[in-house]
């Protein structure tokens, strides 16, 4: 006998829009509609958890059926499906469901995951499970890990597949042991696979939670030693270095923490490194340390120095640093770095702001990014105005000559640029709304 459908199942189906392809540009609004339905189910979990769990399963089934009708290049649909899995776990837990059955069904979904919805699910999942649930999940993951580890090597793709599954279940086990704060089991697993900086960070984190800062520090320092060997070397170093400073401070070794922060800042004098350094400096000593930090940064990479000097409001030092920079160096910088500096320097240092605006425009032209030619034109207009303000008309004339010589074939840009060079730039043209109002007023007056 066919089960009577829950009234909310019709709402789920309508929100999924079966048969309609969801393009990339529509995915955000599509998922927003799905989230509204999921919120209705989530509200049931407190009063009707079993019903909520059943509805989550229906929604998950529908999302898997819909997957090939969604351009999920931005990943928002996948993130939504992950949230459904977590909602299902929460509802099952509230309904008092058997933890072993919940784990078995979760792992079956994780094994048969054609669209990658379960990839990395364990990171959030272990936070949702209670102690019995986590224990049941861990046991069943361990069984899968041991089973694949004992599979005989048969050669070819089967070896690669077994290696992938062993690595995958090993990652899930790591998440379980970390959530259980089981450093012994975590270490045995990590050493068997080959210890990584990420493992050292996880072990240190477990030991911090178990109030063993001294042992945690030893693992943080060991991880820093390994950090250059892994694929996430830089990120691992940052995370482990920050943890080491925190632990040194906790252990009453603030002087060592400051030494490490100072060494890290001198190597990469960035905004983040500056903040880390100043957090460890006594308030009375900060002016002196600030001067030391500014001196250490004077010859650092422009991509690091410019945001740092803007953050610390050192416009004089910023101007001096930019005067020493070549035009080629400025053109190599992202507009995320140069545009804030150009805007800030326009009033007091128009000649430097002009160089920065010009560099942004030339960066676009040199790369041939035609869809950004309008931005390049606006950048050049700002440069023209500021070179004139600084009395550097000859510099603007040199810029015009360079663009005519190197970029005269860029038809989507050069005609508008020639109008700019002749004094008829974009800002002198009426805007869309100005043209519309003028046309509207003429129509009314006729």
In the chain, how long is the greatest CA-to-CA distance? 89
Q: Encode the chain (446 residues) as per-residue pLDDT tens digits.
A: 456 678 899 999 999 999 999 999 999 999 999 999 999 999 999 999 999 999 999 999 999 999 999 999 989 999 999 999 999 999 999 999 999 999 999 999 999 999 999 999 999 999 999 999 999 999 999 999 999 888 765 555 566 788 888 999 999 999 999 999 999 999 999 999 889 999 999 999 999 999 999 999 999 999 988 876 555 555 677 889 889 999 999 999 989 999 999 998 998 899 999 999 999 999 999 999 999 999 999 989 999 999 999 999 999 999 999 999 999 999 999 999 999 999 999 999 999 999 999 999 999 999 998 888 999 999 999 999 999 999 999 999 999 999 999 998 998 899 889 999 888 766 656 656 666 777 777 766 65
Query: Residue 167's closest CA among 139, 137, 145?
Result: 145
DSSP 33-94: HHHHHHHHHHHHTTT-HHHHHHHHHHHHHHHHHHGGGB--TTSHHHHHHHHHHHHHHHHHHH
CB 56 within 8 A of CB 88: yes
Q: Which secondary-structure segment (H or E) carries 199?
A: helix 197-209
Quote the Cα angle for 303-309-314, to 5°: 155
Cα gap 68→114, rounded to integer Å: 11
Give the number of other CB atoms < 10 A from CB of residue 160.
10
Tell whether the torsion through CA atoms of 434, 435, 436 and 438 is positive or negative.
positive
Residue 223 burial class via C-beta count within 10 angstroms: exposed 0-12, middle 13-18, buried 19 and up:
buried
Contact yes or no for 246/260 (Cβ under 8 A)? no
Q: In this structure, are residues 265 and 296 in contact, taking their beta carbons and an 8 Å threshold? A: yes
CA angle 196, 200, 204 (to 5 degrees): 170
- DSSP character for 431? P
Separation between Cα atoms, residue 103 and residue 374, nearest integer Å: 55
The one-character DSSP state at 181 is T
* DSSP result, 256-306: HHHHHHHHHHHHS--HHHHHHHHHTS-GGGHHHHHHHHHHHHTTS-HHHHH
Query: pTM, whole model, 2 decimals?
Result: 0.70
> What gap in Å lies between CA 411 and CA 170, rounded to an integer?
56
């Amino acid at each position: 006998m066919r089960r009577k459908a829950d009234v909310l199942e019709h709402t789920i189906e309508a929100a999924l829009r079966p048969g309609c392809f969801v393009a990339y540009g529509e995915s955000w609004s599509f998922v927003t509609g799905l989230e509204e339905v999921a919120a209705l189910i989530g509200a049931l979990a407190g009063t009707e958890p079993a019903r909520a769990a059943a509805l989550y399963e229906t929604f998950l089934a529908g999302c898997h059926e819909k997957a090939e009708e969604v351009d999920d290049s931005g990943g928002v649909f996948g993130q939504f499906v992950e949230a459904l899995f977590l909602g299902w776990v929460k509802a099952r837990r509230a309904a008092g469901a058997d933890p072993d059955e919940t784990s078995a069904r979760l792992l079956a979904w994780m094994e048969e995951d054609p669209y990658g919805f379960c990839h990395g699910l364990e990171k959030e999942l272990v936070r949702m499970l209670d102690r019995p649930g986590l224990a049941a999940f861990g046991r069943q993951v361990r069984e899968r890990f041991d089973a694949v580890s004992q599979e005989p090597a048969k050669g070819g793709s089967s070896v690669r597949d077994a290696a992938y599954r062993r690595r995958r279940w090993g990652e899930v086990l790591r998440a379980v042991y970390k959530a259980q704060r089981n450093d012994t089991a975590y270490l045995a697993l990590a050493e068997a696979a080959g210890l990584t900086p990420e493992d050292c960070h996880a072990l240190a984190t477990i030991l911090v939670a178990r109030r063993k800062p001294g042992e945690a520090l030893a693992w943080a320092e060991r991880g820093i030693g390994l950090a250059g060997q892994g694929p996430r070397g830089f990120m691992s170093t940052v995370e482990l270095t920050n943890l080491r400073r925190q632990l040194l401070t906790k252990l009453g070794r603030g002087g060592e923490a400051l030494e490490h922060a100072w060494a890290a800042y001198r190597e990469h004098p960035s905004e983040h490194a500056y903040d880390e350094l100043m957090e460890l400096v006594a308030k009375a000593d900060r002016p002196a340390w600030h001067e030391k930090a500014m001196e250490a940064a004077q010859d650092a990479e422009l991509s690091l120095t410019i945001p740092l000097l803007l953050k610390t409001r050192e416009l004089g030092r910023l101007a001096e640093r930019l005067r020493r920079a070549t035009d080629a160096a400025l053109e190599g910088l992202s507009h995320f770095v140069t545009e804030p500096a150009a805007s800030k320097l326009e009033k007091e240092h128009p000649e430097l702001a002009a160089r920065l605006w010009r560099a942004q425009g030339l960066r676009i032209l040199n790369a041939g990014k035609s869809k950004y030619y309008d931005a390049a034109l606006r950048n050049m207009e700002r440069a023209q105005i500021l070179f004139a303000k600084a009395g550097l008309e000859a510099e603007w004339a040199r810029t015009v000559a360079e663009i005519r010589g190197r970029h005269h074939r860029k038809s989507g840009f050069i005609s508008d640029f020639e109008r700019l060079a002749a004094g008829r730039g974009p800002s002198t043209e009426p805007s869309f709304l100005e043209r519309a109002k003028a046309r509207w007023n003429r129509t009314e007056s006729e």
